Chain A
């Protein structure tokens, strides 16, 4: 099956610093990647949809200047949390959609962010 990786798997940073999370599709090309956030005991909430070569589409309430998304190639998307604050601490998960399988998304293992 399609494999999606994320790096790092966890990160601890100081308040005010920026953190970059990478999402890669390892064995397929992903024209569309998605970024989700999941707080404890809560569901996955879509933050933004990223199409290769174009600007990401952000969900309502998600600050695009704070959560920078770059989808430079068909196998890589990055999420940068700028000027992170403790309330940004969460589990960030990316997913990728195979161009030939529009109905399914394959998820990465997630990145746990803790902002001190």
Chain B
């Protein structure tokens, strides 16, 4: 079993839809959880950072972490065509390296 599992998609939604992206993980030592957005042929851009369990909201984006289920989510409300990108989850334990999911490719259709 890989440390981080993420459905690669692709995921296609109409503009305005609510998007749900998820990752599961196996390492219970992970404490820091991030979501990155990566446009084609570009480096990842940090979207959300969460420590331990709970929710965090930033504009149209909400990140959720459920450590008991080893499951994290990113919700995008009122999705826009400009949100079309690959979304990578990443996580790490204390003083350890970041471990990335494979990324989910999202297309928001106008």
Taking beta carbons and an 8 Å cutoff, which residues of A are in contact with B?
4, 6, 34, 41-46, 49, 59, 91, 93, 95, 103-110, 112
Partner-A contacts on B (CB < 8 A): 4, 6, 8, 32, 34, 36, 41-46, 49, 51, 88, 97-98, 100-103
Say whether, besides A41-B102, A42-B102, A112-B41, A49 and B97 are in contact (CB < 8 Å).
yes
Contact of B88 among A44, A46, A91, A112 (CB under 8 A): A44
Are A104 and B102 also in contact (CB < 8 A) when A109-B42, A110-B41 are? no
Chain A residues within an 8 Å CB radius of B41: 91, 110, 112
Q: Select from chain B the residue with minimum beta-carbon distance to A44.
A: B100
Please state if A46 and B97 are interface contacts (CB–CB under 8 Å): yes
> With A and B bound together, what is the CA distance between A105 and B97 in angstroms?
11
Question: Inside 8 A of B101's CB, which chain A residues have their CB?
Answer: 43
Q: A88–B15 Cα gap in the complex (Å)? A: 39
Residues in A whose Cβ lies below 8 Å from that of B97? 34, 46, 49, 59
Do A107 and B103 touch across chains, with their CB atoms under 8 A apart?
no
Complexed CA–CA distance, A18 and B4 (Å)? 34
- CB–CB B34/A107 < 8 A: no
Of all chain B residues, the one with the shortest Cβ separation from A1 is B46
Partner of A110, one of B43, B49, B103: B43
CB distance from B102 to the nearest CB of A (A): 5
Contact of A93 with B46 in the complex, beta carbons under 8 Å:
no
A43 contacts B88, CB within 8 Å? yes
B44 and A93 contacting across the interface, CB-CB below 8 Å: yes
CA distance A49 to B96 in the complex (A): 11
Looking at A105, A108, A112, the one whose CB has the most chain B CB atoms below 10 A away is A105
What A residues does B34 contact at CB under 8 A?
104
Contact check: which of A103, A105, A110 meets B42 at CB < 8 Å? A110
Name which residue of chain B comes closest to A2, CB basis. Answer: B46
CA distance A59 to B45 in the complex (A): 23
